[in-house]
Amino acid sequence: RKEVEQDPGPFNVPEGATVAFNCTYSNSASQSFFWYRQDCRKEPKLLMSVYSSGNEDGRFTAQLNRASQYISLLIRDSKLSDSATYLCVVVPTGANNLFFGTGTRLTVIP
Amino acid sequence: DTEVTQTPKHLVMGMTNKKSLKCEQHMGHRAMYWYKQKAKKPPELMFVYSYEKLSINESVPSRFSPECPNSSLLNLHLHALQPEDSALYLCASSQGPTGATNEKLFFGSGTQLSVL
């Protein structure tokens, strides 16, 4: 079983829509969680960390469900500029590596 | 300065060539990483340096040779590569070693490598 599983999409949504991505992880001892955004032929950039209590940054909301071992990213009022691949990242406790999901491709359509 | 700088941005090399990729950060980060990324795939970890010492080698072929001359610099020496090694090579850094709470990775813009 993979450390991190993520729906690759693609998700094609109209401007202004709300879209959510989930990412499941297999190691219950995982301690740190992140969402990264990667544009085509560019490097991944940190979008936001995911905290136990959930956290929000403008139109973006990240949540963690430890019982079901998944993290989610909600994007409200989608913009054309949100089109990218969104990668979830999980760091197990005591690990010296972090694990990437396969990425979810989002295209926001005018 | 919150940048990780990688050079060159693009590299084309033959299978008999020797080349090097370079990475630099001035954020005082003590962990540096090399990742390989194929199209439509997530980054795959190759090497991790922690406090200038190699701490992880993910069974990478010896035709890839990392070097960490000091805490700000990371090199990847390439020799006798194969066409299947063509990929985006990403350098990253973090304040401390991965595994510490909430360590975020900062990536360079990558080197797009083509092996002919």
DSSP string, A39-67: -TTS-EEEEEE--TT-EEETTEEEEEETT
Report CA A6 to chain centroid distance, whole Å.
8
Express each pLDDT in A61-96 by its tens digit.
Answer: 999 999 999 999 999 999 999 999 999 999 887 766
Say if residue A5's pLDDT is above 60.
Answer: yes
CA distance A11 to A89: 19
Contact B104 A49 (CB under 8 A): yes
Chain A CB within 8 Å of residue B41 CB? yes
Closest of A80, A78, A91, A77 to residue A36, by C-alpha: A91
CA distance B63 to chain A (A): 22
Contact B56 A103 (CB under 8 A): no
- The residues that bridge with A42 in the sheet, in sequence order, are none
CA distance B57 to chain A (A): 11
Chain A CB within 8 Å of residue B27 CB? no
User: In a mutagenesis test of the B interface, which of A98, A99, A102, A105 is the best target, namely the one with the most B β-carbons within 10 Å?
Assistant: A98
Chain A CB within 8 Å of residue B55 CB? yes
**How sure is the predictor about A41, in pLDDT bands with cuts at 50, 70 and 90?**
confident
pLDDT for A29: 84
pLDDT for A96: 66
**How sure is the predictor about B113, in pLDDT bands with cuts at 50, 70 and 90?**
very high
CA distance A83 to chain B (A): 15
CA distance B69 to chain A (A): 21
**For B109, nearest residue in chain A (alpha carbons):** A43
pLDDT for B90: 97
Contact A97 B108 (CB under 8 A): no
pLDDT for B100: 55
Express each pLDDT in B12-69 by its tens digit.
Answer: 999 999 999 999 999 999 899 999 999 989 999 999 998 999 988 989 999 999 999 9
Closest of B16, B25, B15, B1 to residue B93, by C-alpha: B25
pLDDT for A7: 87
Q: Which residues contact B18 (CB under 8 A, 6 or more apart)?
A: B77, B78, B79
User: In a mutagenesis test of the A interface, which of B34, B48, B102 is the best target, namely the one with the most A β-carbons within 10 Å?
Assistant: B102
